[in-house]
Amino acid sequence: MSLGHGQPGRHPGMCHPRRSSGQQILRNIAIQIENLRLAAWRIRIHWIPGYMGVPGNETFGSSSKARSKHIRACRSSHSDFRLPQLDAQHNVLSKVTENILIHPSIPTEGVLSVADVGTGTGIWLKDVSKVLEKTNTNSYYHGFDISADQFPENPGNFKFSVQDITLPFPKEHWNRYDVVHVRLLVAALEETDYRTAISNLSAILKPGGFLQWEEIDEEAYISADNPVIQEIRRCFDFSLKAEGKCFAASAKVYEECKKAGLVDVVRLHYLSSANSDLRLETEKRLASIIETLYASLLLRSGQVADEEAASKRAGELIEQHWSLCAEGKSPHLKLMRVVARKPLDGLDL
């Protein structure tokens, strides 16, 4: 593979490509590389600096490489915050919804194809397949994520692909799925990305197919008397806004679904307080969120100087959290869910 990059000192854009036209090309290349790796291809990239032999540019290039190395190191350490506890969190969220993985307004009898976007380990797909196999033994399941890092090593009958939700899906997925499920992208999507994301998701839905999107957003962090919840809300609100993201994710999804022409759009919530047996699990989950996402956002938004300081702040907040729990002040978990349907061609006017 040969990739020309004519501007010296722009390595950070290649480490973390964003939305400009050149960087969109890099995002597509990165996704294709991941999918080739999944297909057992061996990929080798040879970097040839365009500034070699150009006086002054070589010095600039050396300093740029040092900066890029620092950025890669930071990104690598941040990625560790998302890896643990995904399946455990899925189990908690399933119990919060009383194991209603697909909302009752979605008729499951005719569901033959399901997509899970932001699939992680594929745990939601696996559990949904157990529900659907009672009536549909030949259903097709496909998980998508921005990275293949968490895909299962032995996927069995499930398919997995690397896909950025802000980019169009390959044409073979258009109008293919009866249900498209999305979950917990509040800390990943920029506010301006939601409209594009929902347009891309609508494209892979069959006419009459359903979108189900779940978030734990600002609605989950409201408290008049719990200082831990108040601090988490303050941190998340500050950090996500600084990154151009939307803390009111479920409200944004609801709004953009309406604007995209989806129909029967509803926004629902589920509370862990409806099941007293969930208390310890939700307490542990919040401690995990503080240890991972809270600490990560402190660092990413510059509220602390380094990772050690972020870990220290998180540790202190976790101690306070457990003290409050011991006093009987255990916060509940609130999960938001948006359900919408793609219109049947010409029949939902």
Mean pLDDT per 10-residue segment, the chain (349 residues): 46 51 64 60 58 51 41 32 70 96 95 97 96 91 96 95 97 98 97 98 98 97 97 98 97 98 98 94 95 96 97 98 96 97 77
Tokens 């299962």, residue located: 152
pLDDT at residue 76, rounded to an integer: 29
Q: Does a structural domain hold residue 210?
A: yes
Same domain, 32 and 74: yes
Residue 293 amino acid letter:
L
Domain end call among 54, 79, 104: 79
Same domain, 72 and 92: no
Domain end call among 79, 101, 125: 79
Distance (Å, rounded) from C-alpha 330 to C-alpha 326? 8
Confidence (pTM)? 0.79
Of all residues in the chain, what percent are helix, strand and coil, respectively (each to 5)? 45, 15, 40
Tokens of 207: 């006419």
Tokens 């990239």, residue located: 45
Same domain, 93 and 219: yes
Distance (Å, rounded) from C-alpha 78 to C-alpha 195? 27
Distance between the two ends of the chain, CA-based, in angstroms? 49
Same domain, 174 and 290: yes
Domain end call among 79, 101, 121: 79
Domain tally for the chain?
Answer: 2
Same domain, 169 and 141: yes
Same domain, 208 and 269: yes
| Range(s) of the domain holding residue 149 | 86-341
At residue 324, the 3 state secondary structure works out as: helix
Same domain, 75 and 90: no
Distance (Å, rounded) from C-alpha 302 to C-alpha 118? 27
Query: What residues are paired with 339 via a beta bridge?
Result: 212, 266
pLDDT at residue 345, rounded to an integer: 77
The total number of residues shown for the chain amounts to 349
Same domain, 111 and 247: yes
Q: Does a structural domain hold residue 2?
A: no
